[in-house]
Amino acid sequence: MRDELYETLKLLRDDPNAKVAILKGSGERGFCAGADLTEFGTAPSQVIAREVRWERDLWGLFHTQPKPIVAALHGYVIGSGIEIASLCDVRIAADNCIFRMPEVALGMVPAAGGTQTIPRLIGTSRTSEFILSNRVMEVGEARKIGLVDRVVPRSELLKECLSVSKILSRHDNSALILARRAILLGLDLSLSEGLKLEKRFAETLSVV
């Protein structure tokens, strides 16, 4: 699944006709129940197993993806499933979603960006409590604190994601890409530097 997702993100990045993508889980039980722990058992150690996975920087590809991605979440959204969703631009959840970060309880540290992306969505204190406790978070709480953007009935999930994607796809492609870059790059800048970046991107479009 990881390799397929990596290749799909590359295709999205490189396809001039693609403007927006919807990312959804293929099974009925959930969006993603986290990493397949059996892959760690086939390597000499967890460290080596993770090094092999990091050779193809899926998370970096998400972060540098120029086109917006809408996450369609349902059922179990566990571990790296939350981390993947956190790297998407819009997160729409079905009303049957449950969220959990079990890595610390399993003797590991989240390694798909969750310690960095989740605090940017819900704040440091909430993230610490959530990641360290291994507790289940219901979808209502996830919406209230900003982990997801919308909650809809399970039967309406794909329809809602398609509706949002169509709205985004109507926008000028250059404006869409530059606005997304300004938001992401600005997270690592001071306010004054972020405003300069925004101005530079805006001037780029006005010249065109």
Q: What mean pLDDT is predicted for residues 177-205?
A: 89
Q: What is the pLDDT of residues 123-156, one digit of tens each?
A: 999 999 999 999 999 999 999 999 999 999 999 9
In the predicted model, is pLDDT for residue 46 greater than 80? no
Nearest by Cα to 89 from 151, 10, 142, 168: 168
Q: Which CATH number fits the domain 2-168, given the four candidates 2.60.40.10, 3.40.50.450, 3.90.226.10, 3.40.800.10?
A: 3.90.226.10
Q: What is the pLDDT of residues 76-118, one digit of tens each?
A: 999 989 999 999 999 999 999 999 999 998 888 887 788 888 9
**pTM of this structure:** 0.83
Enumerate long-range contacts of 37-40, CB under 8 Å, 24 or more apart.
37/106
If you ran DSSP here, which 8-state letter would residue 172 be given?
-
